Structure formats: structure tokens, C-alpha cells
Structure 1
Amino acid sequence: MANSSSNEVTYASSVFSKDLSILRQLVSKDFKIKYRRSVLGVAWSVLNPLLMMIVMSIVFSYMFRHNIENYPLYLILGNITFSLMSEATRQSLRSITGAASLLKKVKVDRAIFPIQKVLSALVNFVFSLVAVVLVMLWFRVMPTWHIVWVPLGVLLLVIFCCGLGMILGAAVVFFRDVMHLWGVVLTAWNYLTPIFWDFQMLVDNHAPEWVIMLVRLNPMYNFVQLMRDAVLWQTNPSPAVFGLCVFWALLMLALGLFVFKKTEHKFILYI
């Protein structure tokens, strides 16, 4: 009995090690492909958020600034946080269908593929933090100990994206139209999230209560707010913001695992 249990543990450890190795190789491959034949290479992960911040600052600073201190830093924090989710989910859409040839040849945990796309987006996000540091130096914003909230916030957002990525990756296997629909959803979601505008504008302009509640419950509003609290406002996130970040991360992960495990046995018939 003891030998049987020991063998099962050894087998599970071997499978996990193999899956982890495959995941690492796939993330590395994604990174190399993304910057292949690019003159500036990984520097684009820093330049993109900087250039976007400059353009958005010029366009929106007089319309939506609403007396926000260090508005460019406010913009870039919101932009890179939302972009992490956006890039992770866009890539997750084809995570299963794009790995069809591998899935037909190798026995591997299928959840690796949407998770791989999320981790690839995370790598780009880490490089984009260099842009945030440069903006902080420009505006002489010195980090405080509240910066420790950033890794926790990013971890919760990655968990959220893994769950959402599994749902999208599975959905596309059966309904290819999801790939086109998701672009519309991201656009609407982007405008619903205070990236270039301030949440206080809704209150000051007497927006309907249901609109205010919708924005407050928006998962990305809470993840963006946590990042800004830690870096820009240099304070602890409110219990409501942090609680909702944890809630959305765990809920989406649970839903993602449920949907993925319920449907993955049919993937081979549709890919």
C-alpha cells in the first residue's frame, strides 16, 4: 500500500515537472518570436507604454484630467495594468486551437496553453514597469513601502487572467466567433475602466447610481486602483478594493477551471 502511494506521488511529480518544463519552453518561445527581427527588440516593451502615455497625456490632459496630480503617471499605471489583461486574454483566445498539432501528438495538461499566454503577457508587463520607473524619476515621485502591494496586485491579476484565459481558450474551440466578439468586449471594458478619466468625475457629474456601482464592481477598476494606490497615491488600497481584487481573482480562476475541465475532453474533436 505504501509502495503504491509512493509510486503515485513519484508519477505526479514527474508529470508536474514535465508540464512545468513545457510551460517554460513555450513562454520562452513566445518571447523570442515576439521580438524576432526587431531592431529595438525588448525595448519596445518600454517604449510602447511611454509613447502611449505621451499621446494620451496630450489628447486627454485638458478634457479628463480633473485635477489629477502627476497625470502622466496616472495614465501609464492604468494603461499597463489594463494592457496586461488585454494582451493575456487576446493571446489566450487561440491558445488551444493554435496548439492543435501539439495536442494531437503529446499528452500534456491542456491548461498549460492558456496559462502560457498569460505568463508571456506578464513578461512584457515586467519590462513595461521600466517605463513606470522612468516616469516616476521624471516627476520625482519616490516610492514608499506601499510599493509592496504591487507584486500582490499583479499576482491577483495574473490569477484572474488565467481563469478568464481558460474560459476564452475553451470557448473559441467551439465558437470561433468569440475571437471577433472579444475585441468589442475589450473596447467597451477599456472605456468602462478609469484609465484616462477619473472615477470622481462620475460622482461630481451626478451619474446614475447604477453606473457608479457598475464601475466600482468592474474587476479592472479595482486592479488599476490598487496599482495607483501603491505607486501614485502611496497608500494602502482600501479594504473594498483589495477585497474585490481577491474576490474576482478567485472567482474567475474557479470558473475557468470548471469550464475548462468540463470541456477539454471534447477539444480533440473540434481543433
Structure 2
Amino acid sequence: MLKRYKKYSFLFQELVHRDFTKKYKRTALGIGWSVLSPLLQLLVMKIMLTKFFATGIEHYTTFLFAGNIVFNYYNESTSSGMTALAENSAIISKVNVPKYMFVFSKNISSLISFLLTVVVFFVLAALDGIEFTWKITMLIFPIVCLVLFNIGLGLVLSACYTFFRDLQYLYSIFTFLLMYMSAVFYDISAYSDFAQKLFLLNPIYLFIRYFRKIVMEQTIPTIWFHLLMILDVCIVMIGGFYMYKKYNHDFLYYF
């Protein structure tokens, strides 16, 4: 794969540049929306949710922002990755290039926006009274895992979307439900031990929980927590590349 990347590295860089700039084309603030948009979402959610869900949660602004930025990156990355092949069908049908590069470029474009938002998250966390320790460097692990998870799921979704275009609408409903199942704006401590363990079956909750434990609790999750995240990543990555290998030559017939 590395040899193929070197061969098509220029194309990949151009795809990332195109996807990122296209997102803010003809907007007054341009890349500024990468920072302003999550801040406005945070403001709205804080005003609406503080009264109902902030009871007993210290540093609720940081708590809410951590869940919001992780979920938004997951949602944006996988949703854009899902349509990556269909949107570039004109190129794919004429030029023999690795099709997964289009999904990768969508993810990297979303990753750039996410990293900009993470910087803002650190600033707001500091203003919220959060003290940072060396453990903050451990956030590299969930970020890398989340990138790989989004790529793997994007590969699965883009392959399925090529054959089943209704998936786009079904997935938007799924992500809406997933947001409520990922404890983005509430604490699960009020639930029973069994219910709390069920949350661990949700990969997005794991990523959000990791962020909160490092930043707010300044504790590193257990080895089992890490292994569970790695398992989720491996499952979607294997599934994504399997579908591409199996249906690679069938995509052209459905564009």
C-alpha cells in the first residue's frame, strides 16, 4: 500500500486540498467555520442542555465540548466518506487509481477540521479551570484509533452506498440515534452497572470517554479499555478492505 501511495501521492494531496477548500468555497469566513461552527453548536447545546443534564457534572462545558467534537468528527468523516466513490465516479470510470484514496482524502479533510477544533477545545478547557498534565499526550491514542475507525467504516459505507443509495438517508437517522446513545451531553453514572457496561459496546462512546478521562479526570483508561478500542478499529478496517477487495471491479457498473 505504501508503494501505491507514493505512486499516487500527488493525486492524494490534490484530493485532500480539493475536499477541504470545497467545503468552505464562497463562504465569508472560509476555514474560520472549522472553529466557529463547533463553538456555536457548543453554545446552543450548553444553553439548552445545562438545565436538564449538567446537574452534578463538574466542568460541564468541557464535558459537553469533548463529546461534541468527537462525535462531530465521526459523523462528518463517515458521512462524507460514504459518498466519496459516487461523487468521484467521473474520475474513477476514466482513470485507474486506487478507489480507497477518495475515502482517505475525505477523512483527512475532516481530520484537519477536527484538529483545529481540538486546539479550541484545549483553550476552552483551560478557561474552564482544567489543569493539564503530561497525560494529555495520551490523547494521541484515541485520535489515531478514531481516524482508523472512521476510515474503515467509511470504506464499508462507501461500498454499500454504491449499491444502495437509500443508505444515505438511513445513516443520517442512525447517527441521530447514535448521538443519544453515546452520552455526548449526559453522564451515565446514574445507570446500573449492567447498563454502563452496555455503553462499552458503542465504539463512539469509548472515544468520547477516553477524551473525558484524560482531560477531566486526568486518569489513563485500563489496558482492557485500550484493547477494546483496538478491537473495534480492527473489525471495521478488516471489513472495509474486505469489501473493497471483493467488490472493487463491480463499482463501475453502479455509477
- Give TM class, smaller chain: over 0.9
Q: Distance in 2 between matches of 1:25 and 1:48?
A: 25
Range with bigger deviation, 74-83 or 143-152? 143-152
How many residues are paired up?
255
| Other-structure match for 2:199 | 215
| Other-structure match for 2:138 | 149
Q: CA deviation at 1:123?
A: 0.8
Matched position secondary structure for 1:197 = coil
Range with bigger deviation, 147-156 or 53-62? 53-62
* Aligned residue among 31, 43, 46 for 1:54: 43
Q: Report 1:87-236 matches (<5 A).
A: 87-203=76-192, 209=194, 211-236=195-220
The CA deviation string for residues 57-93 of structure 1, in whole angstroms up to 9 with x for no partner, is 1211121124111000010111000111100111012
TM-score by length of 2: 0.95
User: Tell me, which stretches of 5 or more residues in structure 1 are unaligned?
Assistant: 1-11
Q: Any runs of at least 4 consecutive aligned residues in structure 1 with deviations exceeding 6 A, and if so which?
A: none
The answer to whether the 8 A contact 2:61-2:128 is kept is no
Q: CA deviation at 1:133?
A: 2.2
| Other-structure match for 1:24 | 13
Matched position secondary structure for 2:119 = helix
Matched, 1:268 2:227: no
| Other-structure match for 1:9 | none
The answer to whether the 8 A contact 1:74-1:228 is kept is yes
Matched, 1:68 2:66: no
Q: CA deviation at 1:132?
A: 0.4
Matched position secondary structure for 2:224 = helix
Q: CA deviation at 1:142?
A: 2.6
Matched, 1:42 2:26: no
The answer to whether the 8 A contact 1:229-1:237 is kept is yes
Flag the structure with larger Rg. Answer: 1
Q: Distance in 2 between matches of 1:66 and 1:23?
A: 47
TM-score by length of 1: 0.89
The CA deviation string for residues 93-137 of structure 1, in whole angstroms up to 9 with x for no partner, is 211111111011111111111111111111110111132022123
User: Tell me, which stretches of 5 or more residues in structure 2 are unaligned?
Assistant: none
RMSD: 1.7
The answer to whether the 8 A contact 1:225-1:237 is kept is no
The answer to whether the 8 A contact 2:183-2:205 is kept is yes
Q: CA deviation at 1:175?
A: 0.6
Matched position secondary structure for 2:84 = coil
The answer to whether the 8 A contact 2:189-2:196 is kept is no
What percentage of residue pairs aligned between the two structures are identical? 30
